[in-house]
């Protein structure tokens, strides 16, 4: 065990099992369709990699960096896009992969932002 950790809350096997279950749900919902995963940096990186390895569909991935915290540990309510997508998502099956959702402010903003960008094109 890592010496910096007091205890492990969720066992590695449990996380792997749950990622596999999520992948099966995604494959069931999207059959053989192509998927576009958007990972919200930086917290989603390891999880999105694990999830992509379990999903058998064709998957394209890109990342966005979004901030509503600044230097604080509490959301400011103001969301900023620090890194936008490099690929067009119009007409694609998009799955946003975020690490921790507390207030939902960032995810709501991101969802609305992506909808506006699609409609603008």
Q: What is the pLDDT of residues 67-108, one digit of tens each?
A: 876 555 555 568 889 999 999 999 999 999 988 777 778 888
Annotated active-site residue 102? The verdict is yes
Report the C-alpha gap between 12 and 85 in whole angstroms. 31
Q: What was the pLDDT predicted at 56?
A: 97
- Burial class from Cβ neighbours inside 10 Å (0-12, 13-18, 19+) for residue 9 reads exposed
| 117 or 40, greater pLDDT | 40
Report the C-alpha gap between 120 and 79 in whole angstroms. 20
Residue ranges and CATH numbers for the domains of the chain are 12-120 (3.40.50.2020)
Q: Which of 4, 32, 86, 102 is catalytic?
A: 102
């Amino acid at each position: 065990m890592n010496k910096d950790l007091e205890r492990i809350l969720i066992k590695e096997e449990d996380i792997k099992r749950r990622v596999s279950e999520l992948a099966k749900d995604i494959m069931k919902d999207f059959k053989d369709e192509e998927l576009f995963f958007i990972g919200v940096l930086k917290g989603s990186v390891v999880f999105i990699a694990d999830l992509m390895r379990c999903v058998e569909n064709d998957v394209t991935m890109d990342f966005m960096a979004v901030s509503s915290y600044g230097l604080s540990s509490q959301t400011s309510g103001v969301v900023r896009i620090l890194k936008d997508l490099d690929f067009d998502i119009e007409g694609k099956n998009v799955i946003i992969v975020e690490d921790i959702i507390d207030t939902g402010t960032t995810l709501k903003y991101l969802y609305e932002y992506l909808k506006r960008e699609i409609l603008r094109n």
